[in-house]
Chains A and B, each alone.
Chain A
Amino acid sequence: MKVWTVANQKGGVGKTTTVASLAGLCALKGERTLIVDLDPHGSLTAYFRLDPERIEHSAYDLFTGSVSAQSLLCETGVERLMLLPAAVALATLDRQIGARPGMGLVLRRALQEISEQFDRVLLDCPPMLGVLMINALAASHHVIIPVQTEFLALKGLQRMVNTLAMMQRNRSYTLPYSVVPTQYDRRTRASIEALEELQRCYRQQLWDGVIPVDTQFREASKRGLPLTVLRPWARGSRAYRQLFGALDAAPSIPTVQAVNHG
């Protein structure tokens, strides 16, 4: 089981779209795929037509320890793609569990429980640092950071990279990440300049393609299907397919998850 986290401390950069698109591809390729919505806003949950305000059991229950991860899985309408949904209550976790020891490893343990059932897990993060994002990072083998190619895009990216660097000190191996330029519009100067800046500052981690602006993403979300499933040949789908190919080919890192005691 491979776990990828999609995270950026900036909002609206395409995290949820990236999770849905990559997950659709994995499922179509035959991988048993799980997506986990860790954002209290529940956009990924809503994408698949569940209501994060009404949902009875969600990722929140992982933290109360009252139920098994298994019992939280929901169907998505895509063969082999399951969702562990979010609920609004997730927003209260930071306040409730503050910095209780070990609370950053809850998700990792939960995923270990169901690791036999899935080939691939994709985690959708909220756009801020907190107990949920830390759980995601601690559970994952690779981090995907979507960056919207626009003015000031790199600001959020720097913050995210700093967070990863700090996480690193609590792990015995490095957590690799890839920077993915999103919503790229080659007709705009902002897009071109942002991409150039990414190439200057993040050459090593930068994926060498771009996710273009494609209005069909919005339409796919209205239809409750990943664009990569609804229209595998759309421009946006082709781009995500290339991204998947590049990420999947990257050397996998050791997956023994020993964590230092600080």
Chain B
Amino acid sequence: MADELPPEELLEPRRALQEYLTVLLREEPVDSPSDASGNEPDSSRRVAAWSHPEFEVQLFKVGGLQLAVPVDKLHNVLPWDTGIQSQPEQPEWCHGLMRYQGRAVWVIDTAVLVLPPERLELIPHCRPAYILIVGDGCWGLACHDVEEVVSLAQDEVKWRSERGRRPWLAGTALRRGCAVLDSDAFAKLIG
């Protein structure tokens, strides 16, 4: 306690602070300037860059509807989780929040996301059987059935030019009659 003698003369408060800052921020001239600027992620959406020249998709079914997600974007397939917790104020396209590998994942009611309201009424409402963990691992797609993995060529897909109100609908694989989802666009859900 007594080992610390007070400085002989205290500086005037403003100067004291200024000197403190100046000393702490003194830089030895070894430091290279950081290039922290300029590497913003490119957010402009070209027609599915992952689709070139061909790509694999996981087919799955929601209420009789055939859908596909790129395999590259698929983290995992889980059985339907009863531990999903719905949250106050959550929108109708959500089942709720679940934990997956210690992380928080929003489980999406895929049919609501994909279908226009008038068609939604026509599909049977039964409990999903699986959850596809997609994209960046933050989103789970509820579905009724998981089918095979197939390969699609980029030009087999009719890409939507305008993503409009459902930006996660990337296009339609004509021959297979299924919609291809762009799970990267789910981030826009909470945009």
> Do A166 and B21 touch (CB < 8 A)?
yes
Asked if B10 CB lies within 8 Å of chain A CBs, one says: no
Interface residues of B in 28-67 (CB under 8 A from A): 28, 31, 33-37, 39-41
Interface residues of A in 140-177 (CB under 8 A from B): 141, 166-167, 169-171
> Do B187 and A256 touch (CB < 8 A)?
no
A interface, over-half SS:
loop
Interface residues of A in 214-262 (CB under 8 A from B): 216, 225, 229-234, 241, 252, 254-259, 261-262
Interface residues of A in 162-199 (CB under 8 A from B): 166-167, 169-171
* Chain B residues, CB < 8 A from A3: 36
Interface residues of A in 59-77 (CB under 8 A from B): 75, 77
> Do A256 and B24 touch (CB < 8 A)?
no
Interface residues of B in 150-191 (CB under 8 A from A): 184, 187, 190-191
A29-B191, A77-B103 given; name 7 further pairs at CB < 8 Å: A79-B105, A79-B136, A79-B138, A101-B26, A138-B24, A166-B17, A256-B37
A contact residues, range = 35 or more
> Do A29 and B24 touch (CB < 8 A)?
no
Who on chain B is nearest to A131 by CB?
B24
> Do B103 and A232 touch (CB < 8 A)?
no
* Chain B residues, CB < 8 A from A170: 21-22, 25
> Do B25 and A259 touch (CB < 8 A)?
yes
> Do B20 and A99 touch (CB < 8 A)?
yes
* Chain A residues, CB < 8 A from B187: 28-30
- The stretch among A15-23, A50-58, A104-112 that forms the contact with chain B is A104-112
| Given A78-B104, A254-B37, A255-B37, A134 contacting B24 (CB threshold 8 A) | yes
| Given A30-B184, A99-B24, A104-B25, A241 contacting B104 (CB threshold 8 A) | no
B-side interface residues, number (CB < 8 Å): 39
* Chain B residues, CB < 8 A from A261: 26-27
| Given A3-B36, A79-B137, A134 contacting B102 (CB threshold 8 A) | no
Who on chain B is nearest to A106 by CB?
B24
Once bound together, how far apart are the Cα atoms of A31 and B184, in whole Å? 12
Asked if A2 CB lies within 8 Å of chain B CBs, one says: yes
Query: Which of B23, B88, B191 counts the most chain A CB atoms within 10 A?
Result: B23
> Do B33 and A230 touch (CB < 8 A)?
no
- The stretch among B76-84, B89-97, B115-123, B124-132 that forms the contact with chain A is B89-97
Q: List 9 A-B contacts (CB under 8 A).
A: A3-B36, A28-B138, A78-B104, A104-B24, A108-B34, A119-B41, A233-B89, A234-B88, A241-B190
> Do B103 and A79 touch (CB < 8 A)?
yes
Interface string of A100-137 (1 = CB under 8 A from B): 11111100110010010001000000000101001000
CB-contact partner of B21 in A104, A115, A233, under 8 A? A104
